[in-house]
Chain A
Amino acid sequence: MMCRTVDLRHAVLAKNDGLAAELRADLTARGMTAVNLMSSPGSGKTALLERVLTRAGERGVAVAALTADLATENDARRLARSGAPVKQVLTGGLCHLEADQVREHLADWPPRATRALFVENVGNLVCPATYDLGESLRVVLMSVTEGEDKPVKYPTAFGLAHLVVLTKTDLAQPAGFDEEVFADHVERVNPGVEVLRSSARTGEGVDGLLDRVLAACSGVTPHRPVLARQHLERHGHTHAHEHGHEHAPEAESGPEAAPEGPDEAASDVIASPAGQPSDAVLQTVADGS
């Protein structure tokens, strides 16, 4: 049978990326900044966040938190003790949050005065890293009991962080944690990123983290990771159009394609039959985040 190859160059997560970008703009318009907190389970996200929310209250800063949990509402209950508005996203077993799940909760929430919205992601360092949630500050946390080489084992998560937070520093000595080796591993995957020490026990780093968040809220551009500096394609063909590139000359021999979406419809490049992909769609665009 004859075949034809349709060249797409379509980012698999384009839908999530698009939603996340919309959400970021929407939050900005509402005077709010989202902070995405990621770590392995048990690194101390909830414990640290509870203190940060409490401290924000003391400092008169309106904050709120959305927490993802596989099945229970324990984290939401713990966080609510701070007095800040808290909502729980039940992910029903999904191992990461996606932008649409976050958006669902933000229609009439949190209260209008809220400046920072903390999102506690599902405890996992693999896939949450690939899903933009519309945050302006992405924080990756790790505790002193998890091993100094964790950053190179999870390079995508650590490599895309705007800020790295080392947690449970009260346990650093008993755990024999080597902070220099850790800093070196962080630097390998994310040169120049700041590492903030914290402990939910002693309170170290609580004000520091809140300060970083408030800086992001007032529009200070966070650190820009090297990994985020790859120009990823989002809507190759659309941009190929906009940039005036020519599409492959072959006309489609099949029935007229019914356009479905505003962007790629009718602009896929056909290399027929089973031919070379056209370089007309190799144009890449800045991913903007």
Chain B
Amino acid sequence: MHELSIATAVVESADAAARRHGAASVESVRLRVGELAGVVADALRFSFGLAAEGTALAGARLEIEEVPARARCGGCPGDFAVGSPPSLECPGCGRSAAELLTGRELEIAAVTLPEPDAPAGVPPPSLS
């Protein structure tokens, strides 16, 4: 399944970020997924749990921010929602879009890490 490959890439790169920042675990990962990224959010959520098993991401929350597709018109100054089913024809003037503004994102926006523990070697305060 495709989303498993994506989820694995997400886990790898979030895991690397956690390590760079000295964190042993990850609280959450925020993903931005464009409407035209070709990725199904629900399938991705399911795969994420599988891909995270046995890594620093185990138990991490996956937050998916869906980014609507918008395009800039090539004929008038407007921009418009590409919509569903998608159309790159401007509803205002009928001309074709010059470029897509948003909608193909597939990126890790951020990871949330626990604060680092107290420096090693300092024993926890005794409760006696």
Q: Which residues of chain B are near A13, meaning CB under 8 Å? A: 6, 9, 106
- In the complex, are the beta carbons of B111 and A229 less than 8 A apart? no
Whether a CB of chain B sits under 8 angstroms from the CB of A159 is yes
User: CA A3 – CA B25 in complex, angstroms?
Assistant: 11
Q: Which of these, A5, A10, A152, A258, contacts B19 with CB under 8 Å?
A: A258
Whether a CB of chain A sits under 8 angstroms from the CB of B55 is no
Closest residue of B by beta carbon distance from A153: B85
User: CA A180 – CA B10 in complex, angstroms?
Assistant: 41
User: CA A256 – CA B17 in complex, angstroms?
Assistant: 13
Chain A proximity mask over B1-28: 1 for CB below 8 Å, otherwise 0:
1100110011001101101111100010
Q: Which residues of chain B are near A274, meaning CB under 8 Å? A: 112
Chain A proximity mask over B83-123: 1 for CB below 8 Å, otherwise 0:
00111110000001111111111111111111110000000
User: CA A3 – CA B17 in complex, angstroms?
Assistant: 15
- In the complex, are the beta carbons of B108 and A8 less than 8 A apart? yes
- In the complex, are the beta carbons of A277 and B105 less than 8 A apart? no
Chain B proximity mask over A87-101: 1 for CB below 8 Å, otherwise 0:
000000011101000
- In the complex, are the beta carbons of B38 and A4 less than 8 A apart? no
Minimum distance in angstroms from A202 CB to a CB of chain B: 32
Q: Which of these, B22, B37, B39, B109, contacts A9 with CB under 8 Å?
A: B109
- In the complex, are the beta carbons of A188 and B87 less than 8 A apart? yes
- In the complex, are the beta carbons of B110 and A8 less than 8 A apart? yes
User: CA A81 – CA B76 in complex, angstroms?
Assistant: 53
Q: Which of these, B20, B37, B71, B101, contacts A258 with CB under 8 Å?
A: B20
Q: Which residues of chain B are near A261, meaning CB under 8 Å? A: 16
- In the complex, are the beta carbons of A232 and B104 less than 8 A apart? yes
Whether a CB of chain A sits under 8 angstroms from the CB of B62 is no
Binding site for B on A (CB under 8 A): 1-16, 94-96, 98, 124, 126-127, 129-130, 149, 152-153, 155-157, 159, 187-192, 226-227, 229-230, 232-233, 252-261, 264-266, 268, 270-271, 273-274, 277
Closest 6 CB pairs of A and B: A127-B2, A191-B96, A156-B38, A254-B116, A229-B99, A2-B115
Binding site for A on B (CB under 8 A): 1-2, 5-6, 9-10, 13-14, 16-17, 19-23, 27, 31, 36-39, 71, 85-89, 96-116
Other 10 A-B pairs with CB < 8 A, given A7-B109, A270-B21: A3-B112, A3-B114, A4-B21, A8-B110, A12-B10, A96-B2, A96-B5, A130-B6, A159-B36, A232-B104
